[in-house]
Structure 1
Amino acid sequence: MSINLKKGGSINLSKEMTKLNKVMIGLGWEKTNMNIDLDASVFILSGNQKLIADDYFVFYNNLKSPDGAIQHTGDNRTGAAEDDDEIILANLETISPNAQELAICVSIHDAVNRGHNFGLLKDAYIRIVDVDSKKEITKYDLDISHAFDNAVVFAQVRRSGNEWHFSANSQGSIAELQGLVDMYA
C-alpha cells in the first residue's frame, strides 16, 4: 500500500516494509510546450547537515557517490518518459556510516534565464519505491505551492540508529541548483 504524503508528513521507511534495503527515488513530470528541464539530485549529509565531501553530491554531472550507495541513472531533459523521468537508486545498507541524511532535491535547469518555475509544470511528483518488492512506499504530488520557485528540497531521508525516516517538507527557493549546493557545501 502506498502512502500519499502531504507537505510536512513523514514515515519510518524501515517499519513500512519488513526489511527495506534498496529504494528507488523517481521524479516525474509531463512534457510541456516550454521544454522545462527538471533535475533530481541527492545531497549525502553528515550530522551537521553538510556534505560529507563534494563527491557525495549526486546529480547529472556526478552519477554515483564514492561509496556506490547512491546512483543517478541519467539526465532526462524533457519529461517525455512514460513513467519516472529521472531515477536515483539508493542502497540504504551500504551508505557511508558518516551519512546521517539524504536531502532529495529537484531544480529547474537554467530557470532564471528561461523564466521557468514549478508553477509551469504539469503532474509533477516524487516517489519512493522498494526495489526488491517493486512496491511504491510513498508518493508526493508536487503542487502549485512552489509556483514561483525553481529549486526545492522536497524531502529528507534521515538515519536514526539503524532505521531511516522519510520526511516530506518541501522547502522552495529561487536560487536554482547552485543555491542548493551553497546551502549544503
Structure 2
Amino acid sequence: MAVSLQKGQKVDLTKTNPGLTQIKVGLGWDTNKYDGGGEFDLDVSVFLLNELGKVEDDKHFVFFNNPQSPDGSVVHSGDNRTGAGDGDDEVIEIDLSKVSASVQKVAFTITIYDAATRNQNFGQVSNAYARVLSASSGEELIRYDLGEDFSVETAVVVGELYRHGSEWKFSAVGAGYKDGLAGLARDYGVNIG
C-alpha cells in the first residue's frame, strides 16, 4: 500500500524498500472545465542538484528536449501535450544505483508551457499528483496529491528525492513559482537562454 503524503512531509524510500534501485516517478494532472478553452501543455522537468542545490551543468536539467541525464540514471518518457486520459501523463525512470555521487537531490517540477501568452496558471489545473513506483513490480510506493493550493503560479516543484546517508528519501514539496520555468532555472542554476 502506498504512503500518502501531505505537503512538507518526508518519507524513507530505500530504507523501507530494501534493494530498491529502479523506480518510476509518474506525474499527472487534469485541466479544469473553465480553463478558457485554450490548449494546455504541462511539462515535467527534473533537476539533478549538487549539495548547493544547483545543477552541475545544463545537462543535469532533464526534460523532453534533453531526455536523459549524463550518467544515464534519469530518463524522461517524453512530452504529453494534452494530459488527456487517466493515469500518469509523464513518467521519469530512475536508476538510483547510477545517480552520480555529486547529485544530492533530484527535484521534480511541472511547468505550464507558454503560460504567459496563453494566460494560464495552476489555478486552472486540478488533480495534480506525483507518485513513486517500483519499476519491477509496478507497485505504488508513495503518492502526493498536490491539492488546489495554487492560483497564479505557472510552475510547481512537486517533490524531491534526496540522499540521507546511504539511503534515499522523498519529500513532498508543493512549492509554486509565479515566473514559471524561468524562475526554476534561475534558482537551480540552469541557463535556458
The answer, yes or no, to whether TM exceeds 0.5 is yes
Q: Per the alignment, do residues 85 and 47 of structure 1 end up closer, same or farther by CA in structure 2, a change over 3 Å counting?
A: same
Aligned twin of 2:77? 73
Q: TM-score, normalised by structure 2?
A: 0.91
CA contact (8 A) 2:31 2:124 kept: no
1:64-90 Cα deviation digits (max 9, x unpaired): 001100000100010014311111111
- The 3-state SS of whatever aligns with 2:169 is strand
Aligned equivalents of 1:31, 1:172: Cα separation in 2 = 17
- The 3-state SS of whatever aligns with 2:30 is coil
1:91-117 Cα deviation digits (max 9, x unpaired): 101011111100111111111111111
CA contact (8 A) 1:31 1:78 kept: no
1:66-145 matches, within 5 Å, as 66-145=70-149
Instruction: State whether structure 2 residue 19 is matched by structure 1 residue 19.
Output: yes
Q: Which amino acid aligns with 2:26?
A: G
Q: Which moved more, 1:3-12 or 1:74-83?
A: 74-83
CA contact (8 A) 2:7 2:146 kept: no
Aligned equivalents of 1:26, 1:142: Cα separation in 2 = 13
Aligned equivalents of 2:136, 2:122: Cα separation in 1 = 32
Percent identical residues:
41
- The 3-state SS of whatever aligns with 2:132 is strand
Residue 125 (structure 1) shift: 1.2
2:171 is matched with which residue: 161, 167, 171?
167
Aligned equivalents of 1:63, 1:39: Cα separation in 2 = 12
- The 3-state SS of whatever aligns with 2:59 is helix
Q: TM-score, normalised by structure 1?
A: 0.95
Q: Which amino acid aligns with 2:23?
A: V
Q: Per the alignment, do residues 126 and 34 of structure 1 end up closer, same or farther by CA in structure 2, a change over 3 Å counting?
A: farther
1:12-55 Cα deviation digits (max 9, x unpaired): 11122122101111111225544221111110011111102110
Q: For structure 1, list consecutive stretches of 5 or more residues without a partner in the other structure.
A: none
Instruction: State whether structure 2 residue 15 is matched by structure 1 residue 7.
Output: no
Q: Which amino acid aligns with 1:145?
A: D
